[in-house]
Structure 1
Amino acid sequence: MPLRSLSSSRSLAMRFTIRAVAVAMMAAPLGACGWWDDDPVYKTQATDPADLLYNQGLVFLKNQDYTKAAKRFDALDKQYPQTEWQQKAILMSAYANYSAGNYDDAITASQRYVTLYPKSPDAAYAAYLYANSQYKQIPDITRDQDRTVKALQAFQVVVTNWPKSEYADDARFKIQVTKDQLAGKEMDIGRYYQGQQNYVAAVNRYKIVVAQYQQTRQIEEALSRLAECYLALGLTSDAQTAAAILGHNYPDSQWYKDTYTLVKSNGLEPREDTESWLSRTFHSAISMD
């Protein structure tokens, strides 16, 4: 699966965490803090001071013990509801869980933060964490793509609601990646149907790529496969249209070269019927992008 490295996401997250740690270190000395989980004195109590829990969590973050950090922030969240401490705790819990690879817990925390504090300056970051937590769980194209859909929708929220935030550019890139993934799923199913000679079902899958995902790398193959299926169905005008659109937009593509050879072998030439569904849909989608 062609997922981009999350190094840029990690960089953004680390800048946020470093800022939070720096502020906390100025607020309270951490020299006395140690590995609390190994010392009964530092076991979480029902009435732990808020700053103690918070700073313990930050030290665990600094030592990259993200699971323990999340536990401290979760304790802070529960013990100090409807306070500024809770607001900080929820966001830091989301980050700690994300860093630990506990993506579902990160999703819960980040979604809760945006719901409770939509006007917070850190709401964009929480939404971005939510989207990345979905993104990190995208499976290969042979499996259900529910996570991919959720990641796409979540990144679109980031771009729509916080278009000038430092997370917007990465979100835009990952929108394209998720769309390519979803298009790849449609192509995978389409190829299966085509291999079974169920050309109508295959065409319907390839049409989805043309209509919804034509700015992905799957579009060239989709047009080529459409030409193949239309020829198999005896729909020569539609096959010529698919070949013509492919040749006009991707003249150097190997998919076009193969399609051109196929169309010529059937005594035809690529020729676009501008009134066809394929032509109108393709050009409509291009104009929208």
Structure 2
Amino acid sequence: MKNFIGFLLVIFLMSSCGEYQKLLKSGDNQQIYKKAVEYYNNGDYTKASNLFDAVRLAFRGNTRGQSVAYYRAFCSFNQKDYEVAAELFKNFVSQYPESSYAEECLYMIGYCNYKASPKARLDQTVTQSAIESFNLYLSRYPNSTRKEQINAYMDEMRDKLSYKDYLSARNYYLRERYKAAVVSLENCLRDYPGSKYREEIMYMLFNSKYEMAVNSVEDKKYERYNAAKEEYYYFEEEYPESRYAKEMAKKYEDINEFLKTYDINEEDD
């Protein structure tokens, strides 16, 4: 029985493939389109995509051409080829800006790039593109029912970007490259003021400035100790109960001791 069922399946597949190949060679654009939609609705996105490609030029510029472009983009999306799908949706919006599908396709540009967004440690160009596309969508459709979900997606992606920058800055910090760490950490605070890593970023920024002061040449120590002291005040104001408080308070005492000694020496001179 199993062998018989397997035999029937092979016959069916051969028949199906033969029909598909015959259709591609037929040149009957209307029938190819109809069959492409049928394949699409049955979830066979590869065959649907190939058939839509076969009639794409024949229907370009008319109503059916819009449908072909629309289905073709969703074929790539459903095959999880998100970057290709994003480009196809972008082309659709460009070619058919007045289409009833235009709003959905503009949304799908951002959503495809969101789905293609890689892990935080990797290049985030696609993530930036997703945010830009979603912002464009919201500027054109500010009252969209998708607004709340889009904002949630953008918050998620901004958090990813924040985390990537945090990892980069922390890497400088752990390698004791304090000057580079200061630049990266300050950029993190400027670009992502609401980051959930803000406390640790400010802690590393204070420590980086403190270490730069401690290891500085003599004529730059005063300026750098003051910079570290100022950073301490910012941190204490935001996080008075921080787990880093005791450690930082001890370094703050060291800073004040140096500045006090420096001022005394200045007065003696």
**Residue correspondence of structure 1 range 191-270 to structure 2 within 5 A:** 191-234=170-213, 235-249=224-238, 256-258=242-244, 260-268=245-253
Indicate if the aligned counterparts of 1:73 and 1:93 stay in contact, CA closer than 8 A. Answer: yes
Tell me the CA shift for residue 190 of structure 1. Answer: 1.0
1:39 aligns with 2:19: yes
Indicate if the aligned counterparts of 1:57 and 1:72 stay in contact, CA closer than 8 A. Answer: yes
AA at the equivalent of 2:250: S
Aligned-residue RMSD, C-alpha? 2.6
**Equivalent of residue 89 in structure 1, options 36, 53, 68:** 68
1:114 aligns with 2:93: yes
Give the equivalent residue in structure 2 for 1:31.
Answer: none
**Equivalent of residue 125 in structure 2, options 146, 149, 157:** 146
Give the equivalent residue in structure 1 for 2:107.
Answer: 128
1:63 aligns with 2:42: yes
**Identical columns (%):** 20
* Counterpart-to-counterpart distance in 2, 1:65 and 1:200: 56
User: Unpaired segments of 5 or more residues in structure 2?
Assistant: 1-14, 214-223, 255-269
* Counterpart-to-counterpart distance in 1, 2:239 and 2:208: 19
- TM-score, scaled relative to structure 1: 0.70
Tell me the CA shift for residue 216 of structure 1. Answer: 2.9
Tell me the CA shift for residue 159 of structure 1. Answer: 1.7
SS in 2 for 1:142: coil
Aligned residues: 230
Larger Rg: 2
AA at the equivalent of 2:27: T
* Counterpart-to-counterpart distance in 1, 2:17 and 2:148: 40
Tell me the CA shift for residue 168 of structure 1. Answer: 2.5
SS in 2 for 1:44: helix
Indicate if the aligned counterparts of 1:202 and 1:229 stay in contact, CA closer than 8 A. Answer: yes
Higher helix share: 2
Could you say if the C-alpha distance between residues 39 and 188 of structure 1 is closer, same or farther in structure 2, counting changes exceeding 3 Å?
A: same
Greater CA deviation, 107-116 or 138-147? 138-147
Tell me the CA shift for residue 266 of structure 1. Answer: 1.4
Tell me the CA shift for residue 187 of structure 1. Answer: 1.3
Tell me the CA shift for residue 238 of structure 1. Answer: 4.0
* Counterpart-to-counterpart distance in 2, 1:203 and 1:54: 59
User: Unpaired segments of 5 or more residues in structure 1?
Assistant: 1-34, 270-289
* Counterpart-to-counterpart distance in 2, 1:41 and 1:145: 41
* Counterpart-to-counterpart distance in 2, 1:173 and 1:229: 34
Indicate if the aligned counterparts of 1:124 and 1:165 stay in contact, CA closer than 8 A. Answer: no
Tell me the CA shift for residue 118 of structure 1. Answer: 2.0
* Counterpart-to-counterpart distance in 2, 1:188 and 1:172: 24
AA at the equivalent of 1:189: S
1:182 aligns with 2:167: no
* Counterpart-to-counterpart distance in 1, 2:51 and 2:189: 49
Give the equivalent residue in structure 2 for 1:172.
Answer: 151
Indicate if the aligned counterparts of 1:90 and 1:113 stay in contact, CA closer than 8 A. Answer: yes
Give the equivalent residue in structure 2 for 1:278.
Answer: none
- TM-score, scaled relative to structure 2: 0.75
